[in-house]
Structure 1
Amino acid sequence: MIPKFFRGTLWTRHSLISHRVRFFSTCVPESDEASFGCYSVILPEEPFVWGVSHIVPRTVPSGIRQPSYARTLAKDKPTLHAIRSGQSRGPYEDDSRIRLGSEEETKLRASSKLARKVREYAGTLVRPGVTTNTIDAAIHEFIVARGAYPSPLLYSGFPRSCCTSVNNVAAHGIPDDRPLQDGDIINIDITVYLDGYHGDTSQTFLVGTVDEPGRELVSMTNAALQAGIDVCEPGRPFNAIGHAIHALVRNTTYSVCNALSGHGIGRVFHQPPWIYHTLNDEPGVMRPGHCFTIEPCIVQGSNPRIWIFPDGWTASTENCARSAQAEHMVLITETGAEVLTL
């Protein structure tokens, strides 16, 4: 599927209506619109193609250990969006704590280290003219060459090995054949499955020469991630992360997407604790051995709502404002917190 792209300022009046998708943008005041900058707006190609069954997944060598969902794909599993937004809740055997100093920790650190290497490699691939499908193919080969499995592949039917979210796409963009354009921003979300443990991280990269509003958005996103990390320590409530990010963003021209959340990670891709990046009353306290992701999605303007493309995965901001996301894995230790994917 090759989406349509439109070069110019933010669309302020348009609608996409069908029997399965309904989208209305909000009229943005001209002063706010101008501050959003100039960039390509991403919309699904017409005529719409529902789902992703037409996309052929990449193959993984049989000798590489695969997660259970890749071996037996259940049709009734929730989408990655549903799980990452906290809409799917288990059942789970535990709260994702690992035994510090054990083989569990060693394996978790190894998967996290590989995820970081893949993220850094992904950044070297980003340049004008390269397609996200080419990036995905290179990332796939990089991961399997190191004896790991690309976790997004076949997760609830997701057809690619990473998520590539460009400009107004907030999350879960499916790599396709559209070339990146000078001035784009792209989030590449990486997860690897190595020796029974997942490592998860992402970053928003600049494509060529990006305008000032785009660069500032990415900078604010990285600052929001760091604000969340800074409050992590044993005994702190999980909701302190959302409160810290809220305090940073509340008096700015940005908003935080509340449809996406961080999550516990380890042997399972997504599990409790759920990490919300806005003000929340989520229960629970950080304890030694907890490992989870923090991954705030920051949006230009005051409308953080999203809508889903007909493919069932790609999540765009409602008014097509740009968004950016950054993600790290955090391990709570006896004395503090350690960022495993840094």
Structure 2
Amino acid sequence: MSGGGSDAAEATSLSCVRCGKPAHLQCPKCMELKLPREGAAFCTQDCFKGSWSSHKSVHLKAKLSTPGAPNSDSLNEGWKYCLRKGQGRTSKLPHFDWTGALRPYPISNNHTVPNHIDLPDWALDGIPKIEPNSDLQHVVEIKTPEQIEKMRETCRIAREVLDAAARVVRPGVTTDEIDRVVHEATIAYGGYPSPLNYHFFPKSCCTSVNEIICHGIPDARKLEDGDIVNIDVTVYYKGVHGDLNETYFVGNVDEASRQLVQCTYECLDKAISIVKPGVRFREIGEVINRHAIMSGLSVVKSYCGHGIGELFHCAPNIPHYSRNKAVGVMKAGQTFTIEPMINAGVWRDRMWPDGWTAVTADGKRSAQFEHTLLVMHVISFLCDISIAGVVYFFNNIYFNLNMQVTDTGVEVLTARLPSSPEMFPWLDA
């Protein structure tokens, strides 16, 4: 505390922030930050010490309002930077050799979940118990008709939740606000946001801005005009998970970013088009890599799609790059995600000090899209006009009558709805 010279003389006309008595002392940190004296005056060291736990937030807010610092106007006591995969917090920006312009910002406290919501086994202590040791880490499950119906319902909810989040994307909105929308919408549908406390992840969704490849943590940063942001939503409902994500434009985005996002969307679309029984899982990466390379982009190799159902992550692994070593072929009744991450520069990634946020090694932008898919039985129709009548030849006929049958081999469980917001100009065209 400072108590001498002209500072003390000027402070005699001020009142103590804590008790209202005439103040003769000034908080040295407030003086350093050139903050108003009215909020930094104290009558004694005891009053200063007694107010410190609440007063220090003034310093954080001041730092966050400076250029290049987090710019939320609504930071409260308890907002801190994330460390140790969600298990640690710090009031100081961690030291790191940042690859791009983006920086982590303080995060708010975790959201609460009402008692009536069914919880996955990591919800309370952050540790998945069934998933790591399940046989389904090695064997690709064929879902029963009952499981498939639950997956359809849960994936529909996940789509509705993501659409709710997409509607609030605009310059000036923080990713923490997006997370709040995701959390509240999930709870309103009776679901649990699967990422929340999964291996200690501190939020209800992932928000990956610009050079963040995946697993960005919602925080106090306001989205800026020209950003791109991926929102990754997973919902746990009736004992199963539904997972999807999309990358959105924030305001006026440059042409290179638009091409990156559209190409990533197309990569997923082309990969889905080959899904059917009998196709090798490794073929997905070949399709995605071919399209990305043709556009001068690169495919992230560190993260892949995954099986999903009663477990959040399980077999099969779905690499998105070429010459991958994925094992197995698709069979009707399997559910898994395809979620290519495409970079404008090199494919390599680095991890931020929070232990979750993966960013591009060169600081260039990255985009991602994801769907949860169901492999379906296929009926092929062939017509021989050389004989009377129409003869149908059925391939791969072995299906339960409760199961839908398609001529494409895949059902996109998280498909866009007629009510989904119009976010992508190429779809309108």
Classify the TM-score, shorter chain: 0.7 to 0.9
| Aligned-residue CA RMSD (Å) | 2.3
Which residue matches 1:93?
135
The alpha-carbon deviation at position 253 of structure 1 amounts to 1.6
User: Cα gap change, 1:261/1:21 in structure 2, threshold over 3 Å: closer, same or farther?
Assistant: farther
Letter in 1 for 2:227: D
2 CA distance for matches of 1:43 and 1:307? 13
Corresponding position of 1:293? 337
Partner of 1:43: 103
Q: Is residue 325 of structure 2 the alignment partner of residue 281 of structure 1?
A: yes
**Contact residue 108 and residue 176 of structure 2 kept, 8 A:** no
1:316 aligned to 2:359?
A: yes
Q: Is the 8 A contact 1:23 1:318 kept in 2?
A: no
Flag structure 2 segments of 5+ consecutive residues without an equivalent.
1-59, 70-93, 379-408, 416-429
* Number of the residue aligned with 2:122: 69
Rounded to whole Å, the distance in 2 between the matches of 1:314 and 1:232 is: 30
Q: Which runs of 5+ in 1 are unaligned?
A: 7-19, 26-39, 79-88
Contact 1:307 1:318 in 2 (8 A): yes
3-state SS, counterpart of residue 69 of structure 1: coil
Q: Aligned residue for 2:384?
A: none
Per the alignment, residue 122 of structure 1 pairs with: 165
Question: Is the deviation greater in 154-163 or in 54-63?
Answer: 54-63
Distance 1:268 1:5, change over 3 A: farther
Partners of 1:44 and 1:115 in 2: how far apart?
27
Looking at structure 1, the residues matched to 343 and 68 of structure 2 have their Cα atoms a distance apart, in angstroms, of: 19
Normalized against structure 1, the TM-score is what? 0.81
Report if aligned partners of 1:306, 1:316 keep a CA contact under 8 Å in 2: yes
Residue in 2 that maps onto 1:337 = 410
Q: Secondary structure at the match of 1:43?
A: coil
Q: Does 2:267 match 1:214?
A: no
The answer on whether the counterparts of 2:104 and 2:219 sit within 8 Å (CA) in structure 1 is: no
SS, match of residue 312 in structure 1: coil
Q: Deviations over 1:20-55 (max 9, x none)?
A: 986485xxxxxxxxxxxxxx821346xxx9xxxx85
SS state at 2:133 partner: coil
Aligned partner of residue 70 in structure 1, secondary structure? coil
Percent of matched pairs sharing the same residue: 43
Letter in 1 for 2:112: T
Q: Is the contact made by 1:21 and 1:309 (CA closer than 8 Å) also made in structure 2?
A: no
* Structure 1 position 5, deviation (Å): 5.2
Does the C-alpha gap of structure 1 residues 199 and 185 become closer, same or farther in structure 2, counting only changes over 3 Å? Answer: same
Cα separation, 2, equivalents of 1:160 and 1:171 = 14
What CA distance in whole angstroms lies between the structure 1 residues aligned with 2:295 and 2:146? Answer: 44
Residue 12 of structure 1 is matched in structure 2 by none
Within 2, Cα distance between the matches of 1:214 and 1:281? 31
Q: Quote the offset at 1:103 in angstroms.
A: 1.4
**Following the alignment from structure 2 to structure 1, what is the Cα–Cα distance between the partners of residues 133 and 291?**
34
Partner of 1:132: 175
The letter for the 2-side match of 1:92 is S
Q: What amino acid maps onto 1:219 in structure 2? A: Q
- The answer to whether the Cα contact below 8 Å between 1:5 and 1:41 also exists between their aligned partners in 2 is no
1:242 counterpart SS class: helix
User: What is the one-letter code of the residue matched to 1:294?
Assistant: I
Q: For the residues of structure 2 that align with 1:269 and 1:152, how far apart are their CA atoms?
A: 9
Match for 2:325: what amino acid?
A: D
* Cα deviation 1:240-291 (Å, max 9, x = unaligned): 1001111112232210111110000000001110000001021111011110
Report the alpha carbon displacement of residue 228 of structure 1 after superposing the two structures with TM: 1.1
In terms of mean alpha carbon deviation, does 245-254 or 121-130 score higher?
Answer: 245-254
Q: In structure 2, what residue type is equivalent to 1:68?
A: D
Alignment of 1:176-191 (within 5 A): 176-191=219-234
Q: In the alignment, which of 39, 58, 70 is matched to residue 111 of structure 2?
A: 58
Whose strand proportion is higher, 1 or 2? 1
SS at match of 1:105: helix
- What is the DSSP-based 3-state SS (H/G/I as helix, E as strand, rest coil) of the residue aligned with 1:139? helix
Q: CA deviation at 1:93?
A: 2.2
> What whole-Å deviation, never above 9, does each CA across 1:296-338 have from its counterpart, x for those lacking one?
001002x111111111111110111000000001100111111
Report if aligned partners of 1:41, 1:167 keep a CA contact under 8 Å in 2. Answer: no
Question: Which has the higher relative contact order, 1 or 2, with Cα contacts under 8 A spaced 6 or more apart?
Answer: 1
Distance in 2, matches of 1:23 and 1:178, equals 19
Match of residue 146, structure 2, among 103, 119, 122:
103
Among 192, 199, 202, the alignment partner of 2:245 is 202
Is contact 1:44-1:310 (8 Å) kept?
no
Q: If you compute each CA radius of gyration, which structure gives the higher value, 1 or 2?
A: 2
